[in-house]
Amino acid sequence: MKITVVGGGFVGSTTAQRLAEKNLGDVVLHDIVEGMPQGKALDMMQSACLEGFDSLVTGTNDPADYKDSDIVVITSGLARQPGMSRDDLLVKNAEIVGGVAENVKKYAPGAIVIVVSNPLDVMTYLVGAKTGFPKNRVMGMAGVLDSARFRCFIAMELGVSHQDVDAMVLGGHGDDMVPLARYSTVSGISIETLISKERIDAMVTRTRNGGAEIVKLLQKGSAYYAPSAAVAQMVQSIVRDEKRILPVAAWCTGQYGITDQFVGVPVVLGKTGIEKIVELPLTDDELVALKASASHVEGSVTKLNL
């Protein structure tokens, strides 16, 4: 497999490292800054004997090197700064990501594309429109990361192994995402039987603000360890045809009453990309929240004038 990661910043380079260390394929790291992706790739290769991987990592400034990629991960764009919302990045990152999408269409027309750039759901829509790829081959990394944050807070609250916690977060990758406490468990036990409603509500709020909390603490830049791990899980499910059920920004065609837009929903992820959208039974309140989140994304998409 050939996996291209576009954007050599913290998210992109950490993603490239995780993919190589998992031996998921040969990795190409692309960035416009001359020498930077080449230097980072060489540094990663010099860790191969220590970490025990045989994936080839190369750096490039030439988008022609996307050629024949099986998977392209787009991390390009400006990072959030304190006080900025993901939507504040819309115009600036649309120009950057739009250009990347055109290069992907030109050089890697058969690739599955995973979008990480913010605002994520809107950038995923942009990539889908610019490439014209079948929608099962275009998706956004959102719900895997948001669910991981929710899982983390649950494990910390209960003092239990993170491995035993499962959670599900739907909707846009923003302040109106929809963490589903009813579908969140510890070794199959609903968290609603283990944690008070007040504490669950607090964790839901913290999950929604998970990215902003890290941005505020860092003061410059944004999260990259957990986002890169989320991408790696998605890529692994595709490369190894694991058919994991994971929440990603997927193109909905009527599921959950949402049509013709990308929004975070559970999908079966395999070698062809999104193989199926899984429709969970939702309460009226949960469905209203999900549609409100989707509506916010739709409103931002209209600003692109596609």
Contact 87, 139 (CB under 8 A): no
Would you name the residues annotated as active-site residues?
Answer: 173
State the Cα–Cα distance between residues 182 and 165, nearest whole angstrom. 13
Spatial CB neighbours of 174, under 8 Å, sequence gap ≥ 6:
85, 86, 87, 119, 121, 293, 296, 297
State the Cα–Cα distance between residues 57 and 73, nearest whole angstrom. 15
Instruction: Give 280: exposed, middle or buried? Use CB within 10 Å, 0-12, 13-18, 19+.
Output: middle
Q: What is the dihedral of CA 277, 137, 85, 154, to 10 degrees?
A: 50
